[in-house]
Amino acid sequence: MIGRIAIKYRLKNRFARLRAKGMLTRDEIAQSLGINRKQVVAWRAAGLVRGHLCNEKDQYLYEDPGPEPPKKAKGVRLSKRARFENVSPRPSEVQCEA
């Protein structure tokens, strides 16, 4: 029923709305930061990059880190380098396009 409503009114899903805002996929942010995909997940958990949950499969889209992105720091614990507090894993947004 929800699927039919979304099709009928041409509603965008959360992934499409976040991409329209300029959010990056895990591969894109990993390439821009010069790290691997697993490090992106660890950096999100540590608060170095900000990720937003985009579906029920625990996939995230990431904010562009801006002009001063976090860098690798060998020997420094991730917990000592946090830039952001973790974003709530469950979105509280309500879709309403009128």
- 2 within a domain of the structure (yes/no): no
Report, in this order, helix, strand and coil percent for the chain, each rounded to 5: 35, 5, 55
Element (H, E) at 52: strand 51-53
Regarding predicted confidence, which is higher, 78 or 94?
78
Q: Cβ distance 46 to 81 under 8 Å?
A: yes
What integer best gives the mean pLDDT of the chain?
A: 86
- 8 within a domain of the structure (yes/no): no
- 1 within a domain of the structure (yes/no): no
Q: CB neighbours (10 Å) of residue 45?
A: 13
- 85 within a domain of the structure (yes/no): no
Domain range for 75: 14-80
- 91 within a domain of the structure (yes/no): no
- 75 within a domain of the structure (yes/no): yes
Query: What would the pLDDT profile of 22-33 be if each residue is shown by its tens digit?
Result: 999 999 999 999
C-alpha 86/C-alpha 47 separation (Å) is 6
Domain count, the chain: 1
Query: What would the pLDDT profile of 36-72 be if each residue is shown by its tens digit?
Result: 999 999 999 988 999 999 988 989 999 998 888 888 8
Token output for 80: 């000592």
Q: What local confidence, expressed as pLDDT, does residue 83 receive?
A: 73
